[in-house]
Structure 1
């Protein structure tokens, strides 16, 4: 059932830290990847190496020149990963902070009296930023409803609310609650048909670890990633800005470069770990294909990751190793439905008559780490319309195995009974 042969999956798992054991509790299955993916061992090594370097950027010495080279290489690697059509890569405090900065800049540069358009599927990071800065800019904040049955939102939903005065739009690439992807190129095209000058900002934080990103095809102006959810580490966020968005009035030092978005000295080690992630994906693309071009290998890796994770979610939903899947368990209800082609490595469900916290705790006792989602400011936009107080999120990545899924299903037989 796995897209990866056993030998390759073993090689993949060997490149990540703490695949099979928690450093605090011992052996466990890690199905909490949406909360933060496992970290590449190379990322940990790179972080330690750069943390010890005393030299700073922008100085006239060989060490400083090397730091600047590392940063330039990382920016080029990220542009290749995103297939970005020009623009620039910016590092900040977090993915959420980068969303706030891009949305704030777009709103404050927009003519008053129009609207900021988003959807109810979005994470509170983009929804909160849009609501806050729309108010300050004299813009209406309009949210189109997502489809509760499928757990996603499409171009037609956006199209119904568009006007020529839609000055800013936000899109989530993948929901961290439903696990369903969004056709960002289709949504962006629908927006451009009615409001061609609209600034479009995408939250790619959940999607980045699970599928391809092609900003040349997407037709958007901004894209944010949280690297700790893409095999790197905490402590920074990354954004791509189109030339048009980057040129809008924004905070920068008086007398400094007008195009500068980064405030203060950034961590060279953070940039260097981006190259570690891209290098890993390049290696994986070479293992699963005969591609030789750098971008082609990244596309091959993304396709293989998506296929492997589809095998994992299908096993979880429909069964593995002669164990019935969640879809066959009478008391289990699956967010977005079991048959959903938009799913990306994540299954959310609840068990009728059993508190989700109890299910999470019972799975934890079996050495399986998952997470509860509640009807709160993080997930209420999804759970509220379903009339559900909470659910269990099981989030996987391409280094997980069907054997781990079978272990989960075995535990769920008694838990859901």
Structure 2
């Protein structure tokens, strides 16, 4: 008997049963902006809020509950990202964490220094660095990508690196067109200089088994709400680097790492939900071993599931000549950004919405890549652990009807 493949073991029907919001019958292609929430995540947040809870400590049950939640969330994210839990810091969002880190790092920059940012990136990994560079008086250099292929030009990073470079900020996956640059190769080049590599892993973490040390990122951010969790942000980095940095903080607050990077009392219910989301991901397929091992198996199965659906989507779109798909990189997430000959993206999105399909239009804070491609709005569709062949086929049929001018 043939050994089951990862895809055969991925039971999307069983996965979908854990998502109350899917009972509405709508097809969700809006995952790049935030996934739907499984019941165990919501339950974990409810349980945290309805149990005794206070500021962290060790004396009372409420204090111990808070401390257990924080430690549990650090351990869960450590397993998800392949890092020491003591390097995991939480914040309001990946954007907020990046702004805070930009202020911390730029305090060490001076005249003659340079940074490199990417035209492929979401503005959350561009705007904070531009503001910090302007305030510090340092030169900004740009890494480019090819609009025809979606590929980041590695030479546009390596060719601009020097002993004056202090930071390279780049995405591990474009939230707009899905391109996944070779971060490990970029890291090798960056680390031949004094520069730090800051990686936006928000979109990447939702679709791949992540190993931050193997990527070579000095600092890495992501957002649990992009992988079935609640709305908060996560930052991790090299332990020695985090110990050396001195972020702004209140005078009585601890100087311990990672707490020195966390402003105020943590949102314990969100951290409980984050742990539940990681556990949910680890249980997407049956498996043995520790949580990191189960995540490896589950996310491998998820990758195969999503990749098969992406190929099905692309085959269907290829039959619609009015559609231009701008997601073309050799390695990319199951996220497709498209424009249309005779319809605006907003018109198409509105038509799909009436037909029970959530597929948003816009540029989704990807200011630089949209401008580089000359697109003011497109339709973005993204797959998630609960996406099905039926969702894909339904989307293709509805889109075809829209482009033909059929009325609903």
Q: Cα 1:177–1:258, aligned 2, differ >3 Å: closer, same or farther?
A: same
For residues 4-403 of structure 1, the aligned pairs below 5 Å read 4-5=7-8, 8-21=11-24, 27-52=25-50, 53-58=52-57, 60-84=59-83, 88-193=87-192, 195=193, 197-234=194-231, 236-246=232-242, 247-259=244-256, 260-285=260-285, 287=286, 291-318=288-315, 325-337=316-328, 340-374=329-363, 378-403=365-390
Q: Deviations over 1:280-311 (max 9, x none)?
A: 122125x2xx5524322211222111111111
Stretches of structure 1 that go unaligned for 5 or more consecutive residues are 22-26, 319-324
SS in structure 2 at match of 1:109: coil
- Alpha-carbon distance in structure 1 between the residues aligned to 2:65 and 2:344: 54
- Alpha-carbon distance in structure 2 between the residues aligned to 1:51 and 1:155: 47
Number of corresponding residues: 395
Q: Cα 1:213–1:6, aligned 2, differ >3 Å: closer, same or farther?
A: closer
SS in structure 2 at match of 1:328: coil
- Alpha-carbon distance in structure 2 between the residues aligned to 1:86 and 1:190: 27
Tell me the CA shift for residue 383 of structure 1: 2.7
Q: Cα 1:164–1:306, aligned 2, differ >3 Å: closer, same or farther?
A: same
- Alpha-carbon distance in structure 2 between the residues aligned to 1:140 and 1:306: 39
RMSD: 2.1
Stretches of structure 2 that go unaligned for 5 or more consecutive residues are none
* Moved segments of 4+, more than 3 Å: 2-7
Q: Cα 1:69–1:6, aligned 2, differ >3 Å: closer, same or farther?
A: closer
Tell me the CA shift for residue 119 of structure 1: 0.7
Check whether the contact 2:53–2:63 (CA below 8 A) recurs between aligned residues.
Answer: no
SS in structure 2 at match of 1:48: helix
- Alpha-carbon distance in structure 1 between the residues aligned to 2:73 and 2:228: 15
- Alpha-carbon distance in structure 2 between the residues aligned to 1:3 and 1:349: 30
Q: Deviations over 1:78-123 (max 9, x none)?
A: 1111111575111111111011112221222234421111110111
SS in structure 1 at match of 2:102: helix
* TM-score, normalised relative to structure 2: 0.91
SS in structure 1 at match of 2:235: strand
- Alpha-carbon distance in structure 1 between the residues aligned to 2:334 and 2:374: 24
Q: Cα 1:154–1:388, aligned 2, differ >3 Å: closer, same or farther?
A: closer
Tell me the CA shift for residue 37 of structure 1: 0.5
Q: Deviations over 1:234-289 (max 9, x none)?
A: 2x21111322332212112325432322121112222211211121122125x2xx
- Alpha-carbon distance in structure 2 between the residues aligned to 1:299 and 1:100: 31
Check whether the contact 2:72–2:275 (CA below 8 A) recurs between aligned residues.
Answer: yes
Check whether the contact 1:154–1:183 (CA below 8 A) recurs between aligned residues.
Answer: no
